[in-house]
Chains A and B, each alone.
Chain A
Amino acid sequence: MQFQVIAKCNTTRARVSRMTLAHGVTMLPTFMPVATQAAIKGLTANQMQALGVTLILNNTYHLNLRPGLEVLNQAGGAHKFQGWDRNLLTDSGGFQLVSLSKFTTITEEGALFASPFTGEPTMLTPEESISIQHIIGADIIMQLDDVVSSLTTGPRVEEAMNRSVRWLDRCIAQHEKSGTKSTQNLFAIVQGGLDSVLRDRCLDAMIARRNGVAGYAIGGLSGGEEKDVFWRVIKQCCDKLPEERPRYSMGIGFAEDLLVCVALGVDMADCVFPTRTARFGVALTHDGPLNLKLSKHAKEFQSIDESCPCPTCTDKTSRAMLHHIVTHETAGAHALTLHNVVFQAQVMGRAREAIIAGTFPDYLKQFFARYFGDAGYPEWCVNALRSVGVDLLEGTPAAKIVSGNGAKWEYAAINPQ
């Protein structure tokens, strides 16, 4: 991997970098759409490429079960299997073991879980996770970590953190002897829950292993924790992680989360949210999400966003037509998926432009003003951005602030019909 920081924001910790991998260049910060089962829901690899996406994510846990390694091996790796010749990242499968399987037991050796097909006890070790990811062949692979829910407290958090460090050593060792280091890049995952002392220890230990890792992910978040705690952990990690390594915040997808993370120094993020919400009929826009299921959109002939470069909007697909087909026709899901993937890319692309131009703080202010409008700014965003020198409320002291998560959503009740 070649990683080059090419510009930094003068105010915040945001930066623009060029990440060159075996399947091309990806400009950071970027959002990675999730192709869990080797396909972005409903789309083809060609369509994704036309959208200007250069890096997507596959899930190791899922691909290992289906199609299985035999098939992937025969196909010549996941890139060829799905017809995607741009960059690809695979997770380690650790998160799914915890989120999808009730019976997972973590031992020092690895994660013991019941096979979802046969029910047989199956062991996933750090070595095995890396070997599986070698066969999948992604450009960025993740260490197996000991994942605990971000709401977990007590000694289990510390145990998981320490074990993640030990597992990182085993992953590095496995990766070193694979011979794929020139094309595949191992990322470490910083754990430690919401406890700043544990996070700090984890950071120290993992930074000490920097020669074995190409980048760092911040894990153990996005599990329902308070947003005000979430951003502080992100900030703590970004402040400490080495400048010359990309930083990846796992499971982040709301526009406001993305921009706060970018301001704190994050380079990459992934989430199923934009593609999943598309299937439920929600289009993301710079004025906030648009729930096209609502009957108030039935007679609107304008597109989702006239300035959006996505195929759905440039084709002037009306909200009325989308209302007619979303959640009834897969074509409705496809139209919104195309749009939402582009929306995410636009949010990040505009951030890159603004950082380069030295206007990133202004971009943040404009984005938040437009996105939240009268709904009010989430308090945690205001706090987080103040910590890096941007005051969203500057010039608008009367602006409304909402506590809690403050995520914006379009509900039926807002505009009953």
Chain B
Amino acid sequence: MSTFSFSLQSPTRFGPRLGSVVLKRPSIDIEIATPGLLATTSRGAVPHLSRDHVRISDAIRWVNVSFETFLEHNPPIPTLQALQPGTSSASNPLHTFLGFTPNKHIVSMSARDPHDGRDMPPNGNAHVSVQSLRGVRKLSPTDWRSYVQACQPDIVFALSDTPFTDPQYSQKRLTKSIERSAAWLSSLLNLKSPPPPPKTSTKKVVNNTSSNVDTLIPTNTRIPPVFLHLAGIASPGARKAFSDSLLEPLSGPEAEALLPLSKLDDGVAGYTIDLVPLKSSVEATSTGVESQIVPLLVTSLSALPIPKPRLITATQSPHEILRYIGSVGVDLFDAGWVQKAADYGVALDFEFPVRRTSGLREIGHNLYDVRYRMDFGALADALRGTLSPQEDIEDKPVCPCAACSPVSPSTRIFHGHDTPLVSGEEEQSSPRHLPHYTRAYIHHLLHTHEMSAHALLVLHNLAVLDAFFAGVRGVIKDGEARWEEEVGRFGEVYDARLGVVEEARERWREVDLARGKGRLARERSKQVDVGAEAVVGVEVRIEV
């Protein structure tokens, strides 16, 4: 059993705030200073990282798992983990299944991937439309609760009725959206309603360890701390109404069912804001996107209690992050954009506060670019590797990532008659620092489509973002004047247009398309070879 808490150093409603998330476990407390980051996952894994790499990344302390990919099976496979010998729902079955370390990682669970803005079929009164590899699935609030109970993440995101249909939502749709979102929160918190009936399909999935269908009903009825999406999309009226509904005293049967809560908000541990649907509906109504969003968030938060953490998903740049810290007081940010930048071959290179102020700079390096072919430097200019050459050190902070500051493994596996005793080699000494991986090496790996490039870049980019947040917290500590000054300076030094990420993304797409064409061309020539006239089918590309 663990307990979640959040504390603020001073009760700031809107504006930069320092705080800390603490998850107390029986063995250890995990603390995340805020503003801070959480990593995103794809199919339950941090993209490109093996489990050992996840563990050596100090930046990864909180990961969010979007559960929809597991809905390919019914019941979802992770919900069966608690039934396995050696695990129980009292331990951390979701950690166990996905390979996260309870002593190091906070794992939260959301139904949908907050970065997925594709059009979806409408939600219903009792279901959210979610996306799985085998197509769209309907997820009901009662199923969601049972999955959460079986998986026992550290934090759960309540289902939200966020439309992913064509924007320009009617008044009626908005009303429905906030009513459903509140009702689904209520049903997540309601532990007194009967557990959902076992699925008919569960009979065939019961595995060899248990033949009893009843055991599929989670024995642990605990609901982890709930984070709630602030509903209302782009309508200030709807957003205010939704926040108000959280603060209304509960009455009638709902009040009884939710005892001891006196209002819905009592059951909420934190608030989330998904930018993807918000941006697309703001875009549909006007041009100045970001200046529209801040007032909307302010509307949502103006009556809600101050000391609850605010988590925003799908920001796209450090500039955007600074804006939400400065004018709203957002505490937690997902790192999806820096992880994505690693896909494109971008090594991030920015710092806050800015120490060197010459000219306008990009926030990173597109390592695909031929200019890095012979560049044997570490990935960032703003940070150095532990063993970087002396003249390069200045007062630069160290980038602790496995690309800039690799550390030799402390142990190795022996396979048979190869120990130091036999080989005569020296025993492995304690771990030592090794030279950084160079830009030239990663440039080479990118051009040869080697996956190792992305592993190193993800580790690096997360470390850069983590260092950025540490810098942010340091500046907030120094007071408002310093904050304003440093944010201003950051905006002057780093190009907010993100040309480098954009360009890398374009190049990445080109490479991807060219590869597709190559395959098609090969297939075509193969068909010519065999004299067939069959048409090459349309290739569906999946973004990896």
- A interface with B by C-beta (< 8 Å): 16, 18, 24-25, 27, 37-44, 46-47, 49-52, 54, 62, 66-67, 70-71, 74-75, 80-83, 298-301, 309-312, 315-318, 320-321, 324-325, 328-335, 338, 342, 345-346, 348-353, 356
Residue-wise, chain B 34-71 has the 8 Å CB interface mask toward A (1 for contact) of 00000000111111111111000000000000000110
Which chain B residues border A353 with CB–CB below 8 Å?
Answer: 416-417
Instruction: Give Cα A43 to B409, complex, Å.
Output: 14
B447 & A49 in contact (Cβ 8 Å cutoff):
no
Shortest A362–chain B CB gap in Å is: 15
Which chain B residues border A75 with CB–CB below 8 Å?
Answer: 376, 438, 440-441
The answer, yes or no, to whether B411 is at the interface (CB within 8 Å) is yes
Shortest A144–chain B CB gap in Å is: 23
Interface centre among A49, A67, A298 (most CB of B within 10 A): A67
Which chain B residues border A49 with CB–CB below 8 Å?
Answer: 408-409, 412
Which chain B residues border A42 with CB–CB below 8 Å?
Answer: 48, 50, 450-452, 455
Q: Is the interface of B mostly helix, strand, loop or mixed?
A: loop
Shortest A76–chain B CB gap in Å is: 9
Number of interface residues of B (CB under 8 A): 65
The answer, yes or no, to whether B413 is at the interface (CB within 8 Å) is yes
Chain A minimum-CB-distance residue to B407: A46
For the A-B complex with A25-B424, A47-B409, A320-B77 known, give 18 more contacts whose Cβ atoms are closer than 8 Å: A38-B444, A44-B402, A49-B409, A52-B413, A67-B373, A75-B376, A299-B77, A301-B80, A309-B415, A317-B51, A324-B43, A324-B70, A329-B47, A331-B45, A331-B46, A334-B49, A334-B451, A352-B418
B376 & A321 in contact (Cβ 8 Å cutoff):
no
- The 12 sampled A-B contact pairs (Cβ below 8 Å) are A25-B423, A37-B448, A44-B437, A50-B413, A71-B374, A298-B73, A324-B44, A324-B70, A329-B45, A334-B49, A346-B416, A349-B417
Shortest A67–chain B CB gap in Å is: 4
Q: A24-B425, A44-B456, A49-B409 are in contact. Are A66 and B418 (CB under 8 A)?
A: no
Instruction: Give Cα A216 to B29, complex, Å.
Output: 58
The answer, yes or no, to whether B435 is at the interface (CB within 8 Å) is yes
Which chain B residues border A299 with CB–CB below 8 Å?
Answer: 73, 77, 80, 205, 207
Interface centre among A27, A43, A321, A330 (most CB of B within 10 A): A330
A324 & B48 in contact (Cβ 8 Å cutoff):
no
Shortest A169–chain B CB gap in Å is: 34
Which chain A residues border B49 with CB–CB below 8 Å?
Answer: 331, 334
Interface centre among A62, A70, A345 (most CB of B within 10 A): A345
A52 & B415 in contact (Cβ 8 Å cutoff):
yes
Instruction: Give Cα A193 to B84, complex, Å.
Output: 54
The answer, yes or no, to whether B8 is at the interface (CB within 8 Å) is no
Shortest A33–chain B CB gap in Å is: 13
The answer, yes or no, to whether B445 is at the interface (CB within 8 Å) is yes
Chain A minimum-CB-distance residue to B73: A298
Instruction: Give Cα A177 to B372, complex, Å.
Output: 34
A46's partner among B47, B402, B451 (CB-CB below 8 A) is: B402
Instruction: Give Cα A263 to B44, complex, Å.
Output: 44
Residue-wise, chain B 374-406 has the 8 Å CB interface mask toward A (1 for contact) of 101000000000000000000000000010001
Which chain B residues border A332 with CB–CB below 8 Å?
Answer: 45
Q: A39-B445, A356-B417 are in contact. Are A321 and B97 (CB under 8 A)?
A: yes
A349 & B51 in contact (Cβ 8 Å cutoff):
no
B48 & A330 in contact (Cβ 8 Å cutoff):
yes
Which chain A residues border B450 with CB–CB below 8 Å?
Answer: 37-39, 41-42
Shortest A354–chain B CB gap in Å is: 8
A350's partner among B77, B416, B434, B445 (CB-CB below 8 A) is: B416
Which chain B residues border A62 with CB–CB below 8 Å?
Answer: 448
Which chain B residues border A67 with CB–CB below 8 Å?
Answer: 373, 440, 443-444
A83's partner among B43, B44, B98, B437 (CB-CB below 8 A) is: B437
Q: A18-B424, A39-B445, A317-B51 are in contact. Are A27 and B417 (CB under 8 A)?
A: yes
Which chain A residues border B415 with CB–CB below 8 Å?
Answer: 52, 309, 342, 345-346, 348-350, 352
Q: A44-B452, A315-B99, A320-B77 are in contact. Are A352 and B45 (CB under 8 A)?
A: no
Which chain B residues border A328 with CB–CB below 8 Å?
Answer: 43, 133
A309 & B444 in contact (Cβ 8 Å cutoff):
no
The answer, yes or no, to whether B454 is at the interface (CB within 8 Å) is yes
Instruction: Give Cα A325 to B50, complex, Å.
Output: 12
B444 & A74 in contact (Cβ 8 Å cutoff):
no
B81's partner among A50, A301, A329 (CB-CB below 8 A) is: A301
Instruction: Give Cα A38 to B441, complex, Å.
Output: 9
Instruction: Give Cα A325 to B407, complex, Å.
Output: 28
Which chain A residues border B133 with CB–CB below 8 Å?
Answer: 328
Instruction: Give Cα A18 to B423, complex, Å.
Output: 7
B43 & A329 in contact (Cβ 8 Å cutoff):
yes
B51 & A315 in contact (Cβ 8 Å cutoff):
yes
Residue-wise, chain B 416-436 has the 8 Å CB interface mask toward A (1 for contact) of 111000111100000000110
A335 & B50 in contact (Cβ 8 Å cutoff):
yes
Which chain B residues border A310 with CB–CB below 8 Å?
Answer: 413
B416's partner among A70, A315, A352 (CB-CB below 8 A) is: A352
Instruction: Give Cα A311 to B448, complex, Å.
Output: 26
Residue-wise, chain B 148-170 has the 8 Å CB interface mask toward A (1 for contact) of 00000000000000000000000
The answer, yes or no, to whether B534 is at the interface (CB within 8 Å) is no
Chain A minimum-CB-distance residue to B101: A315
A309 & B413 in contact (Cβ 8 Å cutoff):
yes
Chain B minimum-CB-distance residue to A309: B413
Interface centre among B52, B80, B98 (most CB of A within 10 A): B52
The answer, yes or no, to whether B536 is at the interface (CB within 8 Å) is no
A330 & B454 in contact (Cβ 8 Å cutoff):
yes
Which chain B residues border A46 with CB–CB below 8 Å?
Answer: 402, 406-409, 434
Instruction: Give Cα A262 to B52, complex, Å.
Output: 33
Chain A minimum-CB-distance residue to B54: A331
B418 & A333 in contact (Cβ 8 Å cutoff):
no
Instruction: Give Cα A165 to B69, complex, Å.
Output: 58
B452 & A51 in contact (Cβ 8 Å cutoff):
no
A52 & B456 in contact (Cβ 8 Å cutoff):
no
B47 & A27 in contact (Cβ 8 Å cutoff):
no
Which chain B residues border A52 with CB–CB below 8 Å?
Answer: 412-415, 418
Shortest B116–chain A CB gap in Å is: 15
Shortest A38–chain B CB gap in Å is: 7
Which chain B residues border A338 with CB–CB below 8 Å?
Answer: 50
B51's partner among A40, A309, A335 (CB-CB below 8 A) is: A335
Instruction: Give Cα A71 to B450, complex, Å.
Output: 17
The answer, yes or no, to whether B544 is at the interface (CB within 8 Å) is yes
Shortest A399–chain B CB gap in Å is: 27
Instruction: Give Cα A43 to B452, complex, Å.
Output: 5
Q: A46-B402, A83-B434, A333-B451 are in contact. Are A25 and B50 (CB under 8 A)?
A: no
Which chain B residues border A18 with CB–CB below 8 Å?
Answer: 422-424
Which chain B residues border A70 with CB–CB below 8 Å?
Answer: 374
Instruction: Give Cα A44 to B374, complex, Å.
Output: 20
Interface residues of B in 218-269 (CB under 8 A from A): none
Instruction: Give Cα A46 to B441, complex, Å.
Output: 15
Which chain B residues border A47 with CB–CB below 8 Å?
Answer: 50, 52-53, 409
Which chain B residues border A24 with CB–CB below 8 Å?
Answer: 423, 425
Which chain B residues border A81 with CB–CB below 8 Å?
Answer: 438, 440-441, 444
A50 & B444 in contact (Cβ 8 Å cutoff):
no
A74 & B374 in contact (Cβ 8 Å cutoff):
yes
Which chain B residues border A298 with CB–CB below 8 Å?
Answer: 73, 77
Which chain A residues border B207 with CB–CB below 8 Å?
Answer: 299-301
Which chain A residues border B50 with CB–CB below 8 Å?
Answer: 42-43, 47, 311, 331, 334-335, 338
* Leading 5 A-B pairs by shortest Cβ distance: A349-B415, A349-B416, A50-B409, A52-B413, A42-B451
Instruction: Give Cα A82 to B80, complex, Å.
Output: 42
Which chain A residues border B424 with CB–CB below 8 Å?
Answer: 18, 25
Shortest B39–chain A CB gap in Å is: 12
Instruction: Give Cα A351 to B84, complex, Å.
Output: 35
Q: A42-B451, A71-B440 are in contact. Are A51 and B456 (CB under 8 A)?
A: no
B373's partner among A54, A71, A312, A335 (CB-CB below 8 A) is: A71
Instruction: Give Cα A309 to B411, complex, Å.
Output: 12
Instruction: Give Cα A350 to B417, complex, Å.
Output: 8
